Chain A
Amino acid sequence: MKSFEYARPASLDEAFALLSENWGETEIMAGGTDLVTAMKQYVTEPNRVVSLRGVAPLRAINATDAAIEIGAMATLREVLRHDAVKAQFPAVVTAIQGIASPQMLSRGTIGGELCQRPRCWYFRTGHGLFAKENGEALVPAGDSRYHAIFGNQGEAHFVSPSSLGPVLVALGATLRIQKGADSRDVPADAFFQTPATEKDRETVLKPNEILTAIVLPVSGAKNATYEVRHRHGLDWPYTTASVSFVLDGGKAKNVRIALGHVAPTPWVAKEAQAALEGQEVTEATAAAAGAAAVAGATPFDKNGYKLQLVKTAVKRALLAATA
């Protein structure tokens, strides 16, 4: 790891003053569980690390009847244990429980979870975000078993690592971004982006912007997450599906289905949403939505198996939400 300067501001104002306008010069640190690893891997080599652990207000969780507002620095465990979250959002609970390490839950934050960098093994061993060696893309002919099956026709072949990303997309959450005195709210599906160049990142955040809060609207919608995991301890899911819908006279309305670990961003399964909209949720309609979810997939040589996982994850998430 390259030597760096460490700053621990006590307020957001101080923090903004310490952040550079250019990626790579400074990095924000929350729990550090991903950032420090990335620094050891020379994925990023900041001159200054700005910890947000001293900015107390960022850790608050406030629940009203209309929404739950979670500070970006709330730890995964704090979110997991929050009564309102438990009561309203099984989709969130399942996703956080999947990050099955006591250390990760107590140290990792919700903001860090959403902004963590891809785990693509080419990216993490020095081949850049677009996984190249001498200008040649490594994923198509290489070991693509954990890579994208959707949205992979450009240069980005990695998958978004966040488990909560698809959950927030399915739940229609908003993310609050602050820069100095300015603050803007961005819908979850617009927060994530597929980087256009090696220098871009996987969210719309600018280097000197801070994600301050996540706002979950309380709508009484049924919701659930299903994760296909092999190991039961700390590990990455192969594929996840998060769903949300309102039951209106026994029929599913406002169906939202988002997939994880299948694309460079959380992936909205539009065909699956359409397939279920207005239907009763049964084993058969859930399976049909699952089958529709793989529409438009373009797997590489070694990850075609993920199609089956998508079908199953969508079906099981829908059934779990109704249970």
Chain B
Amino acid sequence: MATPQWPKMEKRALLGKRISRLDGPVKATGQAKYAYDMNRPGMLYARCCFAPYGAMKINGIDASAAEKAPGVRAVLVEQNMIGDEVRYVGQILATVAADTEEQAHEALRLIKVDFERLDMVLDDMNPANATGKPSGKEEGTVDDAMAAAKVVSEGEYGIPVITHCCLEAHGQVSEFKDGEMTFWPSTQSVSAYAEGMDQSIEVEQSKIHVDCQYMGGGFGSKFSHDQWGVIGALLSKQTGRPVKLMLERDQELMVAGNRPSAFGKVRVAVSPEGKMTAIDADVWGTGGNGGYRMPPVPYVFEGIPNVRNKGQGIKTNRGSQRAWRAPSHPQGCFITMAAVEDAAAAAGIDALEFFKNNLDLTSRPEVYAEQLDIAAELIGYKTKAHLRGQGEGPVRRGIGISIHTWGGMGHPSNCDAIINPDGSVEIRLGTQDLGSGTRTVVGIVAAETYGLPLEAITVSMGNNKYPFSSASGGSTTVGGVSSSTRIACTNALNALLEVVAPRLGVAPEALEVAGGKIFESAKPGNSIAWKDACGLMGPNPITKQGANEQKASQDLKLIDAGVGGVQMADVSVDIETGVVTLNEMVAVQDCGLIVDLKTAESQVYGGLIMGITYALYEEALYNHKTGRMLNGDLEFYRLAGLKDIGQLKVHMMTTEKYDSRGVIGLGEPPVISPGAAISNAVANAAGVRVPHLPLTPERVIVALQKGGILV
């Protein structure tokens, strides 16, 4: 009898090996079809007319000229906006569907909007603009601890609003035919995509079909079908034609995902023993037109005995915030770790020593201690490190450290495992592969369970006809799907073993699978090939279900939650130009049992690159008069390219101690620390803290001038 627990490390054929992703070749050759690639017969192209100012009262929308424009098949005016207020640029006022993209565009210009301008708030750097209810806490005696400290360091830190900037924009192709609606969206949530949509489009839930095989990034911004999902469907119903509605880059950047900003004034008290004894943090920021949650400060060093923090949101006339890979963590991490490093510098203590000396204030001191040692070794800390500001010459080098944490518990997921009489195997589940390797992970778990090569497994997913699997967010997918797949496959295997046992003359409990054979554990020579075994089943396939239920799976040690990670950055700062160059970055990460070492490492590389990008380049900038994004393009909304990222080194914790916990999510953790690690490295090199990210020449120069390093 097979059991669902993971096989022992030494008995694994595929788990934890470096395996290339299954969909690599089709992606690299352009055969993989994304939402934008779906072209249906007679398809129309839809484009949105959006609000040009951040605050307006709409008196009327006249689309009559647009309706008559060449190629236009339908115009959908957002009637509920008439008489209402616009709160950010990009809000949809009307949508045109036309034969070509260009015609749709031209028609948009004919829509006349009658409006009055209203006052708007855009500035999120000024805490006086805060209107939200403050949150926070006070624990211990902060003022006493500050008074008793050997050193109190004080700093201001800030991380601006950035966007999700998915290379594949939001949107979908929708097709209404014979009373049924089919969507090809770009989504992080295939199974639940249509949730709540049935009423707005008047199509029963069971008649809504969703298919998303490949995806060009979501990062937390693609959980919902969104307003454009409904609009596309309505236009398809109205015209009887398939409709492609994908956001254009400017609108994508303005409305389809903002990460809240966070600014903070922080004081940290350090005792004569080099221990942090108190922290006092005042934090604010904006979630745009949406709500604001105070990022965790102190982050990870939650055991600091005396804590006072206050957080407050500023409502601004910008698009609403959406969950951005590890919501709140990069902000909390940056503000905290920068303040910690400033405290070390103020106390004249080497940063690595200071972090180590304070690990008992975290909830996993041994993990971080081990990871810090590995990271220090990989980056050559001993030979390269110096105290802050000890560099010389125009180009100065420095190292920075940061540590982080994340949960990553597997989400609810259901799976069907099917073994066919011809020996073929199919796994079905309504999950999605965001590009992270989900399809490959499912295949590996199934192949491992059946003792088959990966190629023998067909993974069917990305469609809502398959068993429900939750949305991919919060690093919950790998735990969810590997656990449901393992359980489903084990159940199906046991049914097969029942069939095979009589042939081998033993009880099913005496059997196991490996290397394409089913055999008697005690007498491996007593065996039957997989295919022959399946031939004994008769005409009907074996189909068994498996579900990931968190508590049960955790008890089986299939999954767990809670990880630690350490990152170090090595940068050069040109103090005559303010240009920061990343030389090297090291990431040491724990994520429990690793299903595929290669895609796991890839995930960390991706996190590092995304993190380097927001540390050095990204920020959403707005026109102070109109509220429109100034850099709503990929030209001045800069992203790091290959030449910008330096050398990246990834080390995954793979020893028994970590492995035995089961599978834990990895999507978020690696993107949390880069901002802090890079900012700390720049402070170490330049001799001053550059308070705000991104670390652009203009900010670095101003900080160097303020710090008297550049005159």
Contacts and interface: CB of A to CB of B under 8 A. Distances in A.
Interface of A: 1-3, 100, 119, 121-122, 125, 133-134, 136, 138, 141-143, 145-146, 228-236, 238, 302-303, 305, 308-309, 311-313
Given A119-B635, A230-B616, A231-B638, A133 B644 contact: no
A141 B624 contact: yes
A87 B705 CA distance: 40
A238 B623 contact: no
Contacts of B696: 230
A39 to B, nearest CB: 11
B318 interface: no
Nearest to A290: B576
A230 to B, nearest CB: 6
Contact of A1 (B105, B625, B640, B697): B105
A37 B630 CA distance: 16
Contacts of A100: 643
B626 interface: yes
Given A143-B630, A235-B638, A230 B617 contact: yes
24 contacts: A3-B102, A119-B636, A121-B621, A121-B636, A136-B625, A138-B623, A138-B625, A142-B623, A142-B624, A145-B698, A228-B579, A230-B616, A231-B638, A231-B640, A231-B644, A232-B641, A232-B643, A233-B641, A233-B642, A238-B577, A303-B698, A305-B701, A309-B701, A312-B576
Interface string B577-618: 111100000000000000000000000000000000000110
Contact of A308 (B576, B631, B640): B576
Contact of B630 (A125, A136, A231, A313): A125
Nearest to A232: B643
Interface residues of B, number: 34
Contacts of A308: 576-578, 701, 705, 710
B644 A232 contact: yes
Contact of B579 (A138, A229, A236): A229
B702 interface: yes
B689 interface: no
A2 B110 CA distance: 12
B697 A125 contact: no
Contacts of A133: 623, 625-626
A13 B643 CA distance: 45
Nearest to A41: B633
B187 to A, nearest CB: 28
A94 to B, nearest CB: 15
B635 to A, nearest CB: 7
Contacts of A134: 625
B635 A122 contact: no
Contacts of B617: 230-231
A26 B280 CA distance: 63
Nearest to B700: A305
B422 interface: no
B308 interface: no
B209 interface: no
B635 A305 contact: no
Q: Is the interface of B mostly helix, strand, loop or mixed?
A: loop
Interface string B85-128: 00000000000000000100110000000000000000000000
Interface in B672-711: 696-698, 701-702, 705, 710
B628 interface: yes
Contacts of A234: 641
Contacts of B698: 145, 238, 302-303, 305
Contacts of A136: 625
Interface in B486-534: none
Contacts of B632: 125
Given A230-B579, A231-B617, A308-B578, 4 more contacts: A122-B630, A125-B628, A230-B696, A232-B643
B577 A312 contact: yes
A309 B617 CA distance: 18
Given A1-B105, A309-B697, A125 B623 contact: yes
A305 B578 contact: yes
A229 B697 CA distance: 9
B104 to A, nearest CB: 12
A21 to B, nearest CB: 26
Contacts of B102: 1, 3
Interface in B49-101: none
Ranked 4 nearest A-B pairs via Cβ: A233-B641, A232-B643, A312-B576, A305-B701
Interface in B432-472: none
Nearest to B109: A42
B710 A143 contact: no
A86 B494 CA distance: 72
A232 B616 CA distance: 12
Given A3-B106, A233-B642, A233-B644, A228 B623 contact: no
Contact of B697 (A228, A232, A233): A228
Contacts of B578: 305, 308-309
Interface in B120-151: none
A251 B702 CA distance: 35
B702 A305 contact: yes
Contacts of A302: 698
A45 B549 CA distance: 59
Contacts of A122: 623, 630
Nearest to A235: B638
A90 to B, nearest CB: 20
Contacts of B641: 231-234
A308 B705 CA distance: 10
A198 to B, nearest CB: 18
Contacts of A305: 578, 697-698, 701-702
A35 to B, nearest CB: 15
Contacts of B624: 138, 141-143
Nearest to B580: A230
Nearest to A309: B577
Contacts of A313: 577
A158 to B, nearest CB: 13
A149 to B, nearest CB: 12
A18 to B, nearest CB: 22
A166 B4 CA distance: 70
Nearest to B52: A126
A121 B625 CA distance: 13
A37 B592 CA distance: 48
A211 to B, nearest CB: 25
Contacts of B697: 228, 230, 238, 305, 309
A100 B578 CA distance: 21
Contacts of B580: 230
A308 B698 CA distance: 10
